[in-house]
Chain A
């Protein structure tokens, strides 16, 4: 188990009620499971189908297995709307 930093933006931030946070999770985990945990722990069910995760500023997709380390930064990224 490792302790990682969570960042929330836009609608995810409003639902989670905070913009950053820490969470303790297993270090070897697939992205789907990671997303499921975060959605459940931080009640993001409303947007769970439209968010993606970035780990240390790198976007990750469904089937990837990630190796997390203490202090990694995971961001919950809702659909972009810049410009």
Chain B
């Protein structure tokens, strides 16, 4: 059970690495070799140049080995050899060799190693193209996110627009700027506070008081309240249901009609102030309700706009931006950070 990890300045020797991992107890050695390709997206590539933070890199490789052995206990030996410096086309830049008693683990572990190597080992390659241009590459498997993390673009399956109900202007009761609304709320709270203070003064002062020389906080006296054992007021409620025995589901029967349709009809009738006596036939009852509605409409047509929306329906859609939940989280944390900094 050994790990062979190294950065090499000279060409890698596949036989040497294979010999390192081979073991008499193993029926499989899986080898992965990364080689230099002669093009990148069709652009001709001349060579690659590798550099690494070697001490940290070896630690990162060690960590990969620990994780591999945690996942597949049967793994025997692991070798990770990475080339540094200039690597020509077709030459090997990385060799990963894993030996195990059976091939399944060896194959899986090899795949795991190369993926993790690309994510977490501090190695960099520079591609030089035929036209002498060169770029430092960036692995797409990167686990270490950029710093500070770039904002992700969120992709939506839906259009970022919702159909909002059109609200006619005349239905909007308050039109004011935020400042004015804030001011009104402030004033409202102030008024409520004074009201409560006045109420308290009235409640807790029995004798005449001179507002100039008395203080409601220290001069207040405790009065015994009616039906109460202390100075607190008590509300008594008459329970007309009497005994609410939860085991017996019938206790509400007297108050709630057993039939749902009956209940709904009763509600409508009381809402429309109709007399108690009703026809037995349900269709006749509904007809009576419709007649009542028509009658109300005809006697006060000026109110129709408040409940009849059919005449003002508009298909105009209002654009609203939809945010992804992560996007909102990010915005919030950004604001928080700003506040903390200040």
Which residues from chain B contact A77 at a C-beta distance below 8 Å? Answer: 53, 122, 144
B59 x A83 contact (CB < 8 A): no
Query: Which A residues fall within an 8 A CB radius of B?
Result: 7, 9-11, 13, 32, 35, 49-54, 57, 59, 61-62, 75, 77-83
Q: A82-B82, A83-B93 given as contacts; is B150 within 8 A of A49 (CB)?
A: yes
Say which residue of A9, A35, A49 sits within 8 Å of B53 (CB atoms).
A9
Say if the beta carbon of B51 comes within 8 Å of chain A: yes
Which residues from chain A contact B147 at a C-beta distance below 8 Å? Answer: 35, 49-53, 61-62
Which residues from chain A contact B142 at a C-beta distance below 8 Å? Answer: 79-80
Q: Mark B90-126, 1 if CB is under 8 A from A, else 0.
A: 0001100000000000000000001001111111111
A9 x B122 contact (CB < 8 A): yes
A80 x B56 contact (CB < 8 A): no
Can you name 6 A-B residue pairings with CB atoms under 8 Å? Answer: A9-B53, A49-B148, A50-B147, A51-B147, A81-B124, A82-B123
B125 x A81 contact (CB < 8 A): yes
A54 to B123 Cα, complex, angstroms: 14
A20 to B189 Cα, complex, angstroms: 64
A54 x B93 contact (CB < 8 A): no
Say if the beta carbon of B129 comes within 8 Å of chain A: no
Query: Which B residues fall within an 8 A CB radius of A?
Result: 34, 50-53, 55-56, 59, 82, 93-94, 114, 117-126, 136-139, 142, 144, 146-150
Query: Main SS of chain B's interface residues?
Result: mixed
A20 to B59 Cα, complex, angstroms: 20
A51 to B121 Cα, complex, angstroms: 15
Which residues from chain B contact A9 at a C-beta distance below 8 Å? Answer: 51-53, 122, 124
A32 to B338 Cα, complex, angstroms: 13
User: Which chain B residue has the least Cβ–Cβ distance from A56?
Assistant: B56
Which residues from chain A contact B56 at a C-beta distance below 8 Å? Answer: 54, 57, 75
User: Which chain B residue has the least Cβ–Cβ distance from A54?
Assistant: B56
User: Which chain A residue has the least Cβ–Cβ distance from B125?
Assistant: A81
CB A78 to nearest CB in B, in angstroms, measures 7
Taking each of B121, B137, B150, which has the highest tally of chain A beta carbons within 10 Å of its own beta carbon? B137
The 4 A-B residue pairs with the shortest CB-CB distance, nearest first, are: A82-B123, A10-B124, A81-B137, A57-B56
Say which residue of A11, A79, A83 sits within 8 Å of B146 (CB atoms).
A79
CB B124 to nearest CB in A, in angstroms, measures 4
A75 to B55 Cα, complex, angstroms: 11
A7 to B124 Cα, complex, angstroms: 14
Q: A49-B150, A59-B144, A61-B147 given as contacts; is B114 within 8 A of A80 (CB)?
A: no
Say which residue of A32, A57, A81 sits within 8 Å of B148 (CB atoms).
A32
A80 x B146 contact (CB < 8 A): no
A80 x B150 contact (CB < 8 A): no
Which residues from chain A contact B119 at a C-beta distance below 8 Å? Answer: 80
B139 x A82 contact (CB < 8 A): yes
B121 x A80 contact (CB < 8 A): yes
Say which residue of A35, A54, A61, A82 sits within 8 Å of B125 (CB atoms).
A82
A61 to B143 Cα, complex, angstroms: 13
Q: A11-B136, A50-B147 given as contacts; is B124 within 8 A of A83 (CB)?
A: no
A57 x B150 contact (CB < 8 A): no
B121 x A82 contact (CB < 8 A): yes
Which residues from chain B contact A53 at a C-beta distance below 8 Å? Answer: 147
B124 x A80 contact (CB < 8 A): yes
